[in-house]
Structure 1
């Protein structure tokens, strides 16, 4: 596996992913019962945008950099920017939070987080970054295997009836990754049907995603929602023109939050021809 998220931290895909993740966390924490969160492809959880890796691509400039300059007026976007500022207050002005950090920031004392990373170097850094946070358990293991092992979640005497699973793979297997994702979701929904599952996916050739969407509608879930942000015109197979989030069993009214936030993200960080959409593949009954 050659992917290193340090090259891409804070880019347009992270903006969509992390705005969505925080909105989801806020919706779930509206109820007092404890939550369990599993991050299957966690990376190191914390990044430096002044590192050689980040500077080499400059992707953060068109993502979090541009969004912080524009700062569209929307609660979900303001929530995200506030979290980034909190991360920088703690770790320095060039820092950027990965999803494990954001989960630790957004969830509560009674909640628990498992963050999985298979690459040894990244996993070692992940463990170091969260060594002082007892709510976050870092695992050097395959995230899909962790879904089998850790769901339904139980830690000590606590059974977690509610929570979320974030699946954010590097897609080095490309289209084969979608087969793995659908299989993992189908299995997890049988064992933890009340969980919320969130899948990030890149958008290059849109037609290649259609079989994935069709199979997602057959999952044993109450609802399946798409949220997509295109920052480039949807006509180039050679680059990532945008990305999307597939949300399985999303909480009530999350679709409305994203539907109003995504067009503002599109205008803030997209170029001419950018687009966004929020669409139910399987609407709750």
Structure 2
């Protein structure tokens, strides 16, 4: 949806969970010398000013990245997650928050291929400029969902797909399922990561189950799936529509990811939880 700007939400609890997973997956992919491809279907602007009017309007980063920035007792995976964010800032102060393309740029090797899709014209121009000097990179203002099939399978047969639409349109839920099914048909070995918001909506509640069915059906996921959810806010009443938390569904996850998240999630509940009932869910199905 062209009205959506992630700058309002940069560095919030959902970004922490999403980019923690992204960081660990990309580090795992880099353990092998053979190059890999990352396809980011909803890339955004690449970076966001924490001090700018958008981020300051809602201040969501205050209950997200700011809670971790000066912490001294971070579990190792969270400390690794913070490394590219610190590199994105200078002087030791948190002024900017990197989006997924910037984190990828800081973690990927020159031989690894990066493919980014972003429809918002302003964010597309910012991202295209930011990544203009990176080798093996293409930034496109085409629809990421419809373009994904053309990216799979990648030349090296090693690849990661990140899908994190805004879900402001309910049709995004169905598009995610279709993209996952079609992606697995073309590239059953690929790592598919889907972010979703935890909302008081039927579509949001049903999405993890639909993703499980998609991962298990047809060609199927060769290495199983992993589902993680972090709930940080409490529904205030039956009419509340705010985001209570968020989740990540990973198909063909690295074998190390479950234990890495298990180490971090109790810490994130303690640091990012905004009510006494804050909690997490971590489930996995091996191949």
Query: Normalising by structure 2, what TM-score?
Result: 0.91
Per-residue deviation at 1:210? 4.4
1:214 corresponds to 2:209: yes
Match of 2:277 in 1: 273
Give a deviation string over 1:56-75, Cα, whole Å, max 9, x none. Answer: 11111111111113354211
Q: Distance in 2 between matches of 1:210 and 1:108?
A: 37
What is the CA–CA distance in structure 2 between the aligned matches of 1:239 and 1:215, rounded to whole Å? 22
**Count of aligned pairs:** 277
Q: Identify the residue that residue 225 of structure 1 maps to in structure 2.
A: 226
Aligned to 2:248: 245
What is the aligned partner in structure 2 of residue 162 from structure 1?
A: 158
Q: 208-217 vs 3-12, which deviates more?
A: 208-217
The correspondence of residues 7-156 of structure 1 with structure 2, limited to 5 A, is: 7-89=8-90, 93-153=94-154
Q: Distance in 1 between matches of 2:134 and 2:203?
A: 40
Q: Secondary structure at the match of 2:69?
A: helix
Q: What's 2:181 paired with?
A: 186
Q: In structure 2, do the counterparts of structure 1 residues 187 and 38 end up closer, same or farther at CA, with 3 Å as the change threshold?
A: same
The 3 A distance-change label for structure 1 pair 273 and 71 is farther
* DSSP-derived class of the 2:213 partner: coil
CA contact (8 A) 2:110 2:134 kept: no
- Gaps spanning 5+ residues in structure 2: where? 215-219
Deviations 1:180-202 (A, max 9, x none): 11111100111111110000000
CA RMSD of aligned residues (A): 1.9
Tell me the equivalent position of 1:156.
none
The answer to whether structure 1 residue 2 and structure 2 residue 6 are counterparts is no
CA 1:93 to 1:263, structure 2 compared with 1: closer, same or farther past 3 Å?
closer
- TM-score, normalised to structure 1, is 0.92
Shift of residue 208 of structure 1? 4.4
Contact 1:70 1:268 in 2 (8 A): no
> Cα distance, 1:140 vs. partner?
0.9
Deviates most, 229-238 or 43-52: 229-238
Question: Residues 23 and 172 of structure 1: is their aligned pair in 2 closer, same or farther, counting only changes over 3 Å?
Answer: same
Query: Contact 2:199–2:205 at 8 Å: present in 1 too?
Result: no
> Structure 2: how far apart are the matches of 1:124 and 1:117?
9
Gaps of 5+ in 1: 154-158
Q: Distance in 1 between matches of 2:37 and 2:91?
A: 24
Deviations 1:108-151 (A, max 9, x none): 12111011101111111110111121233211110011202211
Are 1:284 and 2:280 matched, yes or no?
no
